[in-house]
């Protein structure tokens, strides 16, 4: 029946006074059977109390909602709607500005890398390799240092700045001829 132990114990003590101590099982069963109607009425009363309490609580919540809605005038609703629309528009503009700043930084970075690469006579596949070590936000000095280091590495590996080994060979021949000319000039100067 869903009644608590206290209710059942209290009723058992109340009924126990009307049952003789020497009563047989049939008499006890009759008392218990008669108690069923009374206990059901207590259960019904308890259920009704709970249901009424819940209805009252729900009614209070609904009335509070209605009161709050009634307090918001049509003018206030329009103002709140306008504020919400303004907030949404501000968020969209902030997103757009962030996108444009990112594109601008990329363009500026690419232009800077191209300018420094042309100064260092670095292009083609060599430039593509060098760009792998670069990132947006690097300073001009960092970009210059990185591109210069990549060029030096390529030269040490026997490749020209353009990725052509012939350029290195021609540069080495020119340097060798210049060194030979200097040695001859020094030898003539000492003979005189």
Through-space distance between the first and last CA atoms of the chain, rounded to whole angstroms: 132
70-84 pLDDT, tens digit per residue, is 666 788 888 888 889
Domain boundaries, the chain: 5-71, 111-182
Average pLDDT of the residues in 24-35: 75
Question: Residue 33's pLDDT is what?
Answer: 75
Question: Residue 77's pLDDT is what?
Answer: 83
Question: Residue 78's pLDDT is what?
Answer: 84
Question: Residue 88's pLDDT is what?
Answer: 92
Average pLDDT of the residues in 33-41: 72
Question: Residue 163's pLDDT is what?
Answer: 47
121-133 pLDDT, tens digit per residue, is 887 877 888 888 8
> What is the residue-averaged pLDDT of the chain?
76
Question: Which residue would you say has higher pLDDT here, 177 or 63?
Answer: 177
Is a pLDDT exceeding 70 seen at residue 116?
yes
Question: Residue 117's pLDDT is what?
Answer: 84
């Amino acid at each position: 029946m869903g009644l608590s132990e206290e209710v059942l114990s209290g009723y058992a003590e109340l009924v126990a006074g009307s049952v003789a101590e020497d009563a047989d099982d049939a008499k006890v069963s009759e008392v218990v059977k008669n108690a069923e109607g009374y206990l059901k009425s207590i259960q019904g009363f308890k259920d009704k109390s709970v249901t009424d309490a819940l209805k009252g609580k729900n009614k209070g919540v609904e009335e509070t909602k209605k009161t709050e809605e009634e307090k918001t005038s049509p003018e206030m609703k329009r103002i709140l709607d306008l504020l919400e629309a303004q907030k949404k528009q501000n968020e969209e503009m902030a997103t757009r500005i962030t996108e444009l700043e990112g594109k601008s930084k990329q363009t500026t970075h690419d232009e800077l890398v191209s300018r420094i690469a042309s100064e260092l006579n670095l292009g083609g596949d060599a430039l593509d390799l060098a760009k792998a070590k670069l990132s947006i936000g690097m300073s001009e000095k960092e970009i210059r240092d990185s591109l210069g280091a990549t060029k030096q590495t390529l030269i040490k590996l026997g490749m020209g700045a353009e990725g052509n080994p012939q350029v290195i060979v021609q540069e080495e021949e020119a340097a060798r001829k210049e060194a030979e000319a200097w040695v001859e000039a020094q030898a003539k100067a000492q003979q005189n």
